[in-house]
Amino acid sequence: MSLRDGLYKVEFYTVHGNGNGVVYATAGKLRGGNTGFAFIGNYATRDGEIHVKISTQRHNDDPSIRPLFGTDMITLTLKGRADGDLVDLEGTALQAPGLAFKAVMTRLTD
């Protein structure tokens, strides 16, 4: 199943902590963010799997908002599958290749 267009809440996890935000998926693009970071990327479906490449960019200089990977700008490569309104993804950051990253996207609306 492919990624459906729409607004998703995103919950993400590493051994160092977790976070959340929102992303909007449309026409192969992902755009979103949370209180500290913008999320900018793209997605494609190949062989029944969803492939995502997404980067973070800090937009809030508040030092209490700490980056999950210890640096403000990361690029994640993820893959996973959609099941109805849920998308489970796993992958790593190019800046921390040994650190597992998991995300769950839940579709909220068109």
Residue 97 belongs to a domain with what CATH number?
Answer: 2.40.128.380
Q: Domain count of the chain?
A: 1
The pTM score is: 0.93
Q: Tell me if 1 is assigned to some domain.
A: no
Q: Which residue has the tokens 């973070």?
A: 56
pLDDT in tens, 64-107: 999 988 889 999 999 999 999 999 999 999 999 899 999 999 99
In a domain, 64, yes or no: yes
Residue 13: both structure tokens together: 């996890």
Question: Which range marks the domain in which residue 18 is found?
Answer: 6-109
Is 88 within a domain? yes
Q: What is the DSSP letter of 69?
A: T
Q: Is residue 38 part of a domain?
A: yes
Judge whether 41 lies within some domain.
Answer: yes
End-to-end CA, the chain: 17
